[in-house]
Amino acid sequence: MDALHDDTLTLYDETFASRFLLGTALYSSPTVMQQAIRAAGCEMVTLGMRRQNPAGGDGDAFWQILRDSGCRLLPNTAGCRSAREAITLAQMSRELFDTPWIKLEVIGDDYNLQPDPFGLLEAARELIDQGFKVLPYCTDDLVLCQRLRDAGCQALMPWGSPIGTGLGLMNRYALQTLRQRLDVPLIIDAGLGAPSQAAEAMEMGFDGVLLNTAVARAHRPALMAEAFAEAIRAGRSGYLAGLMQQRQTASPSTPPLGQPFWHRDGG
């Protein structure tokens, strides 16, 4: 536990003890959300922005709950379909939440909500120039991720699978390649449905996990948040401890030397 105690996540020179980032959508009530955030032990939560009609909505109350949680806020540009839209919404979020952090989303396809790599890169370049701390929600494409890093993104958030699917790590080869080829923090964002999937991501060497639906839509969200938190810690410990190499042939754990009832002549 000591090794894990000193094991922190650094994003844009800021240090986090937790590797679990949690979304704030889809909960049945603000109280349930608060309980889940507490159970997750997370230090950063995502949130969004939507049109508010005159004298309507409860945006201020919602924001106050998140402020009281003590978590750092990571506003998103969810639903934006072009670099221009995402840049404008990021600028609005910086003023609204008084933070330069932005989870940058530029969606390219309605069916699987796949990030648009071209718009994402264009928006990331512009926002980094404007002083934002950009965490891009991206695919697992190696070259895209390299370009985002070269643009100045100090951490990347590749998808495990499409948002809200719970399908887990769909392309292990691509994700493993990202881990081997990139030395910036990598956070698996989207598609995780079970704590075991989060543990697997952490065992592969990913630096953190961001999820929402799997916790918010659980029958008991706080319990699921706790389960994910434990899985993330377990997976991280496993990675730090060093996983054994897999092999095809069996190898006995108990020494064969001195095996009783064994005779050289096979009798």
Partner 1 sequence: MNEITLRLNDEPARLPAGTPLADALQQWDYAECRIAVAINGEFVPRSAYAERILHDDDRIDIVAPVGGG
Question: 75 vs 203, which CB is nearer to partner 1?
Answer: 75
Question: Which run of H or E residues covers position 181?
Answer: helix 172-181
Q: Is residue 77 part of an annotated ligand binding site?
A: no
Beta carbon of residue 137, minimum distance to partner 1 (angstroms, whole number)? 10
Q: Is residue 190 part of an annotated ligand binding site?
A: yes
Beta carbon of residue 150, minimum distance to partner 1 (angstroms, whole number)? 26
Question: 59 vs 109, which CB is nearer to partner 1?
Answer: 59
Beta carbon of residue 237, minimum distance to partner 1 (angstroms, whole number)? 27
Residues belonging to the chain? 267
Question: 88 vs 171, which CB is nearer to partner 1?
Answer: 88
Question: 8 vs 28, which CB is nearer to partner 1?
Answer: 28
Token pair recorded at residue 224 = 């699921």
- Alpha-carbon distance 219 to 232, whole Å? 20
Active site residue 103: yes
Q: What is the DSSP string of 72-112?
A: EEEEB-TT--SHHHHHHHHHHHHHHHT--EEEE--B--TTT
Beta carbon of residue 177, minimum distance to partner 1 (angstroms, whole number)? 26
Q: Is residue 119 part of an annotated ligand binding site?
A: no
Q: Is residue 213 part of an annotated ligand binding site?
A: yes
Beta carbon of residue 110, minimum distance to partner 1 (angstroms, whole number)? 17
Strands 9-11 and 14-16: antiparallel
22 pairs with which residues across the strands? 45, 211
Give me the catalytic one of 94, 103, 133, 147.
Answer: 103
- 100 burial (CB, 10 Å; 0-12 / 13-18 / 19+) is middle
Count of Cβ atoms closer than 10 Å to residue 107 Cβ:
22
Question: 60 vs 183, which CB is nearer to partner 1?
Answer: 60
Rounded to 5 degrees, what angle do the CA atoms 212, 215, 218 make? 135
What separation in angstroms does the CA of 51 have from each of 80, 104, 106, 145, 199? 13, 18, 18, 31, 37
What separation in angstroms does the CA of 230 have from each of 59, 137, 226? 31, 24, 6
Contact residues: partner 1, CB under 8 A: 23-27, 33, 46-55, 57, 59-60, 62-63, 66, 75-76, 78, 84-85, 88-89, 91-93, 95-97, 163, 190, 210-213
Per the annotation, binding residues for 1-deoxy-D-xylulose 5-phosphate are: 164, 190-191, 212-213
Per the annotation, binding residues are: 164, 190-191, 212-213
Active site (catalytic) residues: 103
